[in-house]
Structure formats: structure tokens, C-alpha cells
Amino acid sequence: MPIIIEDGRGSGISAGVNLDNRLLTKAISSTTLEDASFDGFSYSVDIGTVTLTTAGESGLLSIKNTDPNLMLQISSVVFGIGKSNIAGDVIIKGYSNVTTGTLISGGSSVTPTNRNYGLSTPAIATVLKGSEGSTITNGTQSATFIVQSPSALEVDSTVVLPNGYSIALSVTPPSGNTSMKVSILARIFYFNPKST
């Protein structure tokens, strides 16, 4: 007696089999980021434009995961480096778990934008924007990039922040700089590692 696989929802439709005795199925694959976006747990973090007026290092963005249940992943970061009044190297640094400095104590709060425009689920995170001279005084330096002014840099990332962990980003203009605009856009999303 043959075994028939039927639709469990009561439609009466049976599963098909091809000439090689393989079950006919259809699968749709999506990334964790796409799933998070559909579910309303993917966000854009945009600091707008900051003008740096010295050649010193300025802490410009801090993201800390405060969700007690979900991991936060930084999927990519885009840096826009405007034209400085002087040519030279621009140094971008990333730090992990920064807890002190004026970026943390005096940074402006930023609200991440949900990337599913039909949902308004907020990000459970502390996001801070710095300005000229904002400092980062602890944490561990985890990345360094050197670019020219003007330029753009997109960094794909798999940085994962459990609850209470953070990342901070800084920009140092060329020596002699008195005016250089910088923008930073980070793409972040939440996921439950137990369900992936």
C-alpha cells in the first residue's frame, strides 16, 4: 500500500514525485538580515554630517546593545569622508566595549530607523553621536582603516554585540585639517542565536 503525503491543512492536495522518485518541493531561502528586516528588527543608524575642525581624533558613534534577550549584529558601516582643506590620510578606528570618554558621557542620543517602514518596533539600544573632539578613553581598539579625503568606505561586518556590549567609531582627519565633513551610516539587526 503506497504512502501518500497530504496537505495537513485539509486541502486534499497530495505531494508530487518526479521520475527519479524525488519529492517535489519548493524552498525560499533568506538571510538572517532579510528575516530581521521582514520582522521589523533591522535598523539604520545615521549620524548625519559632522564637521571636524582639527586634526585630532573624534569619537563619532557608539552603539550599545541593551536588549536582554537578543543579540545585535552590525552588518555594515558606511563612512562618507568629505574634502579636507589639506590632503593626507584619514584614520578610522573601531573600538569594542567603550564605557568612558565624552562620546559616552556627553554624546547626543540617536534613534535608529526601522528598515521595515511598515513597522515601528524600536531598537533596544543606546546609540550616541559625537562631535569634534569627543573622546574615547577606554575599550579595546579592534579595527583601523586609512582612507583619503574625500572618499567613501563601506565595511561589511559580522560584529555581534550581546546584551551590555558596545562598539564605538572614531575619525582622525589629516594633519593641519581645519574643516572636513564626515557622515556615518551603520546597518544593524537583532537575532536570536537559539533560533538560527
- Give residue 95's pLDDT: 98
Joined grid coordinates for residue 54: 582639527
> What's the whole-number mean pLDDT along residues 118-145?
96
Rounded average pLDDT over 106-134? 96
Judge whether 146 and 77 are in contact, CB under 8 Å: no
What distances in angstroms separate CA 74 from CA 42, 84, 151, 162, 175, one per listed residue? Answer: 10, 28, 22, 11, 30
Q: How confident is the model at residue 157 (pLDDT cuts 50, 70, 90)?
A: confident
Q: Return the pLDDT at 23.
A: 82
Cell representation of residue 141 = 581598539
pTM summary value: 0.86
What pLDDT does residue 29 have? 74
Residue 189 C-beta-side C-alpha neighbours within 13 Å: 21
Residue 58 pLDDT > 90:
yes
Q: Which domains, and CATH codes, for the chain? A: 32-195 (2.60.120)
* Residue at 104: amino acid letter: I
DSSP letter, residue 178: S
Cα 182 to Cα 188: distance, rounded to the nearest angstrom = 20
Q: What is the pLDDT of residues 35-55, one digit of tens each?
A: 888 888 999 999 999 999 999
Locate all alpha helices (DSSP H) within the chain, ordered by sequence: 32-39, 102-106
**pLDDT (mean) for 19-43:** 83
Which of 47-61, 147-161, 169-183 shows the lowest per-residue confidence on average (mean pLDDT)? 147-161
Residue-level pLDDT at 5: 74
pLDDT of 92 over the 60 cut: yes
Please, are residues 36 and 150 in contact by the beta-carbon 8 Å criterion? no
pLDDT of residue 90: 98
Quote the mean pLDDT of the chain: 92
Note the pLDDT of residue 196. Answer: 47
